[in-house]
């Protein structure tokens, strides 16, 4: 039976910015100069602009469209606010309706953050409707004069810093996510930090909608500054991956814009993983201090020490805890073939374990705890004499035979 040839071109290596899936297929290719972040002041300047690759692909999982070749460094955002949508009657009506809907579900004195406030008009509109709130915008290139009633900060929004500081009731971001290399990452970071500090702010995200682009075959929506083109499905999938609840998915301006009202948050499992990781990091910071101190005392006391194992975990131990070749020159290994080679980084010559018969030591350190039971059994079997055997456990070196540790259950 003849098998048909696969003609579908598949891309991988650039995870989908909306859902994180790794497989996409080509959609639209071209070359354009920057279209919205430059203001050529002459014909020649316009002609000399670099033509940048548009290599839009589409995620096969959520349908998101993104420029596979996008390089954020190619986009020279200036000190002027990024050009926003027009001030037409239909657009203004849509914005006013959204502002009223949002304020209706916020507390009387809300704290509102806008990521990428641009000219500041959206925050100004919210404040006009409710002057009791606190309104804070973040935009390196946005408006800077809030007339004392709106806080415009010329800085990037940092969830880790700004969420605990402001404890917002609402986070707004309009026509920003389509410019980001990884919008999902920003939303997930906000969700994790918010959950970690015990808040669940309402969010309003708004982006251009690419549904009609696909329906009609138009191409003018594809320009370099918009690295992402959100479909209804990809936008909804992105929100679902970082929200405890999605209140509403809606459209504006005759379906050309899609927005979502959601409460960002993460599952308890994610918080548990984050906390477990934090605890581990703190624990290993403590072990770095403790074990270095223990090694210093062993050396200072004249105790003769051998490290069992010269590669892998043993090399990692020697390098992390500064068990250098000058102070701790003795390294042995169960594998005779490693004899005559040297520990990566610290440089001790590795000897076969039997070397210890004629060159006894006081202490053997076994960095590979999971192999400790086998090694201790081997030490006993071949008759190597040693006063104590140490392994790393709970931030310090402990005696294998006389301390409480989980590796005792592995004894042969």
- The alpha carbon dihedral of 241, 243, 249, 251 has a sign of negative
In the predicted model, what is the mean pLDDT of the chain?
91
Q: Which CATH homologous superfamily contains domain 302-410?
A: NAD(P)-binding Rossmann-like Domain (3.40.50.720)
pLDDT band for position 83 (cuts 50, 70, 90): low
pLDDT band for position 11 (cuts 50, 70, 90): confident
Instruction: Using alpha carbons only, give the angle 315, 316, 321 rounded to the nearest 5 degrees.
Output: 105
Stretch 238-247: mean pLDDT: 93
Q: Has residue 410 got a pLDDT over 60?
A: no
Stretch 79-96: mean pLDDT: 69
Q: Which CATH homologous superfamily contains domain 89-270?
A: Vaccinia Virus protein VP39 (3.40.50.150)
**95-109 as b/e, with b when 16 or more CB fall inside 10 Å?**
beebbeebbeebeee
The answer to whether the 89-270 and 302-410 domains have the same CATH topology is: yes
pLDDT band for position 85 (cuts 50, 70, 90): low
pLDDT digits (tens, 9 = 90+) for 323-379: 999 999 999 999 999 999 999 999 999 999 999 999 999 999 999 999 999 999 999
pLDDT digits (tens, 9 = 90+) for 207-232: 999 999 999 999 999 999 999 999 99
Contact 118, 83 (CB under 8 A): no
pLDDT digits (tens, 9 = 90+) for 105-148: 999 999 999 999 999 999 999 999 999 999 999 999 888 877 77
Stretch 144-159: mean pLDDT: 87
Q: Please tell me the predicted confidence (pLDDT) of residue 7.
A: 72
Which tokens in the block code for residue 10? 């598949």
pLDDT digits (tens, 9 = 90+) for 279-308: 999 999 999 999 999 999 999 999 999 999
Q: Give percent of the chain with pLDDT exceeding 70.
A: 94
Domain boundaries, the chain: 89-270, 302-410
pLDDT digits (tens, 9 = 90+) for 14-41: 899 999 999 999 999 999 999 888 889 9
Q: Has residue 49 got a pLDDT over 50?
A: yes
């Amino acid at each position: 039976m003849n098998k048909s040839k696969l003609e579908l071109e598949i891309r991988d290596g650039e995870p989908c910015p909306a859902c994180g899936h790794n497989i996409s297929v080509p959609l639209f290719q071209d070359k354009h100069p920057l279209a919205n972040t430059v203001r050529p002041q002459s014909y020649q300047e316009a002609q000399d602009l670099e033509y940048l690759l548009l290599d839009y692909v589409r995620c096969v999982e959520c349908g998101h469209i993104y420029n596979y070749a996008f390089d954020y460094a190619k986009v020279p955002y200036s000190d002027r606010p990024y050009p926003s949508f027009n001030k037409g009657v239909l657009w203004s009506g849509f914005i006013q309706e959204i502002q009223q809907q949002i304020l209706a579900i916020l507390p009387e004195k809300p704290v509102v953050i806008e990521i990428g406030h641009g000219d500041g008009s959206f925050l100004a509109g919210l404040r006009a409707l409710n002057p009791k709130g606190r309104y804070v915008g973040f935009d390196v290139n946005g408006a800077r004069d809030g007339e004392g009633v709106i806080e415009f900060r010329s800085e990037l929004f940092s969830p880790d810093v700004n969420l605990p500081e402001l404890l917002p009731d609402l986070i707004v971001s309009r026509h920003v996510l389509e410019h980001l290399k990884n919008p999902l990452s920003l939303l997930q970071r906000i969700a994790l930090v918010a959950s970690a500090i015990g808040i669940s702010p309402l969010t309003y995200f708004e982006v251009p909608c690419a549904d009609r682009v696909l329906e009609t075959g138009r191409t003018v929506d594809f320009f370099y500054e918009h690295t992402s083109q959100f479909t209804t499905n990809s936008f909804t999938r992105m929100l679902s991956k970082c929200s405890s609840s999605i209140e509403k998915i809606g459209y504006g301006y005759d379906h050309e814009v899609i927005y979502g009202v959601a409460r960002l948050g993460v599952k308890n499992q994610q918080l548990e993983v984050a906390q477990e990781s934090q605890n581990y990091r703190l624990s290993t910071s403590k072990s770095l201090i403790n074990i270095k101190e223990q090694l210093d005392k062993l050396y200072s006391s004249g105790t003769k020490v051998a490290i069992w194992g010269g590669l892998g975990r043993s090399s990692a131990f020697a390098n992390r805890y500064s068990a250098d070749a000058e102070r701790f020159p003795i390294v042995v290994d169960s594998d005779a073939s490693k004899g005559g080679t040297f520990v990566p980084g610290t440089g001790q010559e590795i000897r076969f374990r039997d070397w210890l018969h004629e060159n006894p030591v006081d202490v053997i350190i076994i960095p590979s705890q999971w192999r400790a039971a086998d090694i201790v059994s081997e030490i006993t079997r071949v008759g190597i004499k040693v006063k104590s055997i140490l392994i790393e456990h709970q931030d310090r070196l402990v005696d294998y035979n006389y301390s409480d540790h989980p590796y005792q259950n592995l004894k042969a």
